[in-house]
Structure 1
């Protein structure tokens, strides 16, 4: 089932490299507009994109508020980002709902040179 929005976390991700990748993957995006600590732009189809540097420690968040992307879910988005950018990527193993337990919210998948692995990441 396609997620209504997708989010990944990038370790030491370079915003310009991310911008170049997004432009190639989903079409030209508008220039980033800084709003406090957050940067926002829009994909070619108008989908809002948010880049939050150091969202969790040194991890940067990349969030697309649309189901109209080439990626069906967070994991597909993470795999594509790792392939394009070569930095460790973390994502939720599936869509998370507010009614799920806190323990379920701590389950993550990391993708790096060693492959994919599920682990516990306490971000709160």
Structure 2
């Protein structure tokens, strides 16, 4: 089932690698200036996809949010797999499309994805 948006987490040190990979494999990335820890932009692939990057969303991990259901990936995990294989870095994402009305039971269940494989883990992110 296609998720309404896609969000992955990547260590901040590798954001430039991600942007380079997106430009080579998906389309041109247009980014605005940083406003504190947030940067908005657009990924120009088959359709224009609003993009938001938030530094320190979870410690040293940045959130990369593709605000559209028209991404090349159906799920967060699909995106994490593609990025992890493409830049050879660990990518994290939620296991499924968690929504607030689902409650807190699985809110801390996450997936670590690397070029070598995947592993579920509990990531108790602190604000």
TM-score, length-scaled by structure 1: 0.90
Task: Describe how 1:26-65 pairs up with structure 2 within 5 A.
Answer: 26-44=26-44, 45-65=47-67
Is 77-86 or 14-23 further displaced after alignment?
Answer: 14-23
Per-residue CA shift, 1:94-117, capped at 9, x if unaligned? Answer: 101111221311110111255211
Per-residue CA shift, 1:51-72, capped at 9, x if unaligned? Answer: 1122100111111001111100
Work out the CA distance in 2 between the residues paired with 1:113 and 1:2.
23
Distance change in 2, residues 1:77/1:19 (3 Å): same
Q: Give the length in aligned residue pairs.
A: 124
What is the aligned partner in structure 1 of residue 7 from structure 2?
A: 7
RMSD between superposed Cα atoms in Å = 1.5
Task: Describe how 1:1-124 pairs up with structure 2 within 5 A.
Answer: 1-44=1-44, 45-112=47-114, 114-124=116-126
Contact 1:13 1:60 (8 Å CA) reproduced: no
CA-CA distance at 1:36 after TM superposition: 2.2
Work out the CA distance in 1 between the residues paired with 2:107 and 2:27.
32
Is 18-27 or 89-98 further displaced after alignment?
Answer: 18-27
The runs of at least 4 aligned residues of structure 1 exceeding 6 Å deviation read none
CA-CA distance at 1:32 after TM superposition: 3.5
Work out the CA distance in 2 between the residues paired with 1:20 and 1:61.
17
CA-CA distance at 1:29 after TM superposition: 1.7
